[in-house]
Amino acid sequence: MAAVASEVELVNISINGVALQVPKGELIVESVKRLGLEIPIFCYHPRMKPVGMCRMCLVEVGFPGPDGNIRKMPKPQAGCTLPASEGMAIFTDTEQIHRDRKGVLEFLLVNHPLDCPICDRGGECPLQNNTLFYGPSTSRFLELKRHLPKAFPLSKYVTLDLERCIQCGRCVRFTEEISGDSQLAFRFRGASMQPSTFELTDFESKFSGNVIEICPVGALTNREYRFRARPWDLETKPAICTVCSNGCNIWFDHRAGRMVRTNGRTNEAINEEWTCDRGKFGHEFYNDSNRVKHVMVRNGDALVESDWPTAYDAIRMAFAEGGNRVAALTGPSNSNEDLYLLKKLFQTRFNSNNFDSRWTTYLPTAEDDLQKKMGVSMVQNTIADFESMSKVFIFGSSLADELPILFLRVRKGWFNNGNKVVVASDKPTDADSFAAEVLRYRTGTESTLASGLLALAVEKGLAQVPDATRQSLSKYTAEHVSDETGVSVDALHRAVELVAGAGIITSHGIFNTSQPQDTVETLAGLAMTTNGSFNCYALGANDQGALDMGVVPFGGGMDTHSILQGCIDGTVKALWLVGCDPFELHPDYDLVEKALENVHFLVVMADHQNGAVPFASVLLPETAPAEQDGTFTNMERRVQRMPQVLAAKGSAKPAWRVFSELAIRIQPETPPFGPADCMKEIAESIPSYAVADYANLGGEGVLIR
């Protein structure tokens, strides 16, 4: 039977004489938004607990008396801490409130340096805006203002200007409530109070960039952005972060064809409004001086500038033999359209299934597929699911490093709802700080620990398995597992109660461990037999999309390792690298070097110079993700559109267009005229992607199931 949603209790209030109903307990600062009104704020943030520190949000409050007249409280109240209750009358636009707001702003500006002309926050500063809208027209303060260190480097990315700080506490509360690292705190008291790290160490949070965005003044500014532009100089467009597989929504600010900065963009289904530092500060590659801008073709020992027709002719000749003689390897940042047309080119023009997008030590075969083998999907939960999931089991993954936004969501569920989290890892992780149980196992014993937990769940009656499975698990007693893994017997018994029925999280990083297939199957079995859920999330920006597009070997095709080995022994004569640097992605550097040295013909398609370029026979300039229109599928299988933000560099082209133009040179047909046409073709080939039509890809994207 479906669960019945609990009814929200409503109360009757009035705001400036307008009657309305709102949920009981809703903060007044949120209630006024229902009428399109605004209460000015500094310290309040809707994703953090209210503290009422700045008093900017003062409102007058009253209740109807027996005679029906409104009797106001003797003093104004802070709208950010005031919950709505029956009969409450709120006044946000009275003469008293106007005087109070001016008084608050005058007090905040007493020691403020008023250096707006040189402040990076100028033009998008809430203090500046509120002063213009609600503040006094002139200042009565004539005394000498305080002077504190300017532009103090709080970290690699964040600059602190104490003169501008208004002690709203947003930055401190973010590190305590959202990121959980608690690296910032207030030192001293009174006029000397200031945000600081413990013992003035570097602010090393993995989410430090968010404090820049939520600071309501110019106290915390972006060291990478300082003095590079003014807000009114920038063009701002929506984009998708491609640094990891979370698929965070960002605002992409650019000027004169150069990326200037990125800020978080609200998407409640994914990143809410947060970013990790890798994403916020990890897009400088768009401005890299080593960008590949022109087609290059090898002439003797050197690559010389050429043109696209010459490159296409050379590739046609080199790949003409087709079959097992040719192969392709792709990287994590290619769009779905790129990947689909690459696969189509190799299958229909080169008669080859030798293509792969995976770079882990172990590469599952088609027979290892969990859906076919066990009827279990590798992705069963969305990011948002973990906020309300009562039990979460993180296995073999440091979420803050691999899946940072999922880490924030799991922590939010613990912080707000008391969700129980179990962490199993061979090294310390950020999630250990709030885990109900930490299982620290010896490296290489992942499979034993997973089997031990399943065996213990069966023993305690928490899981039901067939007799054959029960027999195979008989050797995994708690004592045996403890001896093998180093996890105590007591910890195993405590953990299994929490693990049973939990949402299990692991990542494709598990395929770099020993016996990964056994581990994955055991974890999936644990979830299936205890009514939990299982998730083995991709790590690269579009790794999940590559799997969905089928850019994995089948029908006798070679996988990544076999392709590289084939280049060495001469089986593979021509190799095409699409948006990838094997030296960075593959675990065996020597194998990659030998493969690229020995392959007869190497096509390198890249947006910037990488380790494979010196070996290239043909170098093709590829547009970077934000320089083309395309779609990306994130870890939870949510398809989102990345619209073109920047112009292509030099003669660079989107990969899908290169594959299409080469295909019609080999065998004429009507090509797709844009990425939207590619997606229509994808939908015909992969029915689950029918919902991913470009017309449906606004807002939060669409979830593929």
352-364 b/e (C-beta count within 10 Å ≥ 16 → b): bbbbbbbbbebbb
What is the dihedral sign for C-alpha 551, 557, 562, 563?
A: negative
Fold topology of 2-93 = Ubiquitin-like (UB roll) (3.10.20)
Q: Strand order of the sheet with strand 326-330?
A: 302-305, 296-299, 618-621, 601-606, 574-578, 326-330, 355-356
Indicate the burial class of 272 (C-beta count within 10 angstroms; 0-12, 13-18, 19 or more).
buried
Q: Is 528 left (phi over 0), alpha (psi -120 to 50) or beta?
A: alpha
| Tokens (6 digits) for 366 | 């088609």
pLDDT digits (tens, 9 = 90+) for 245-286: 999 999 999 999 999 999 999 999 999 999 999 999 999 999
| Helix ranges (DSSP H) in 576-625 | 582-585, 589-598
- Do 89 and 13 touch, CB atoms closer than 8 A? yes
Separation of alpha carbons 503 and 394, rounded Å = 8
Residue 2 is predicted with a pLDDT of 41
Helix (H), strand (E) counts: the chain: 22, 29
Q: Where in the chain is the domain with CATH 2.20.25.90?
A: 234-287
Cα distance between residue 101 and residue 541, in whole Å: 46
Q: Mapping DSSP to helix (H, G, I), strand (E, B) and coil, where does residue 603 land? A: strand
3 state DSSP class of 39: coil
Cβ neighbours of 638 (radius 10 Å): 22
Q: Which amino acid is at 12?
A: N
Helix axes 655-666, 336-348, angle to 10 degrees: 20
Read off the pLDDT of residues 482-491 as tens digits, 9 standing for 90 and up: 999 999 999 9
Residue from 512, 391, 409 nearest 457 by CA:
391
**pLDDT at residue number 573:** 97
Query: Chain centroid to CA 678: how far?
Result: 26
Residues of the chain with CATH 3.40.50.740: 296-357+551-703
Give the CA distances from residue 256 to residues 217, 547, 654, in Å, rounded to whole numbers and listed in that order: 27, 36, 21
Cβ pair 492, 482 in contact under 8 A: yes
| pLDDT for residue 451 | 96
The two most distant CA atoms of the chain are separated, in Å, by 98
Among candidates 485, 540, 490, which has minimal Cα distance to 244?
Answer: 540
Contact 84, 11 (CB under 8 A): yes
Query: Can you give the pLDDT at residue 6?
Result: 58
Nearest 5°: phi and psi at 50?
-70, 145
Asked if 141 contacts 155 with a C-beta cutoff of 8 angstroms, the reply is no
Tell me the pairing of strands 194-197 and 220-222. unpaired
For the segment(s) 104-222, the CATH number from 3.30.70.20, 3.90.1150.10, 1.20.58.100, 2.60.40.10 is 3.30.70.20
In this structure, which CATH number among 3.40.50.1000, 3.40.228.10, 1.10.230.10, 3.40.50.1970 belongs to the domain 366-537? 3.40.228.10
Instruction: Give the residue from 1, 47, 45, 6 showing the smallest Cα distance to 24.
Output: 6
Question: Would you state the structure tokens that stand for residue 678, as one six-digit string?
Answer: 């590619």
Token look-up 């930490």 returns: 438
φ and ψ of 206, to 5 deg: -80, 0
β-sheet bridge partners, residue 603: 576, 618
| Contact yes or no for 248/241 (Cβ under 8 A) | yes
For residue 147, which amino acid is it? H
Options 3.20.20.10, 3.40.50.800, 3.40.50.740, 3.60.15.10; CATH for 296-357+551-703 is: 3.40.50.740
CA 170/CA 160 separation, integer angstroms: 14
The enclosing H or E element of 23 equals: strand 18-23
- Rounded to 5°, the CA angle 226-229-231 comes to 105
390 phi, psi to nearest 5 deg: -70, -25
Q: DSSP for 280-312? A: HS--GGGG-TTB--S-EEEETTEEEE--HHHHH
pLDDT at site 146: 84
- Kindly tell me the sign of the dihedral angle through the C-alpha atoms of 265, 270, 271, 273: positive
CATH homologous superfamily of 234-287: ADC-like domains (2.20.25.90)
Using 50 as the pLDDT threshold, list the residues of the chain that sit under it. Answer: 1-5
Rounded-to-integer distance, Cα 155 and Cα 153, Å: 5
H helix runs in 431-559, sequence order: 446-459, 467-472, 478-485, 489-499, 516-529, 543-549
**Which residues on neighbouring strands pair with residue 330, listed in sequence order?**
578
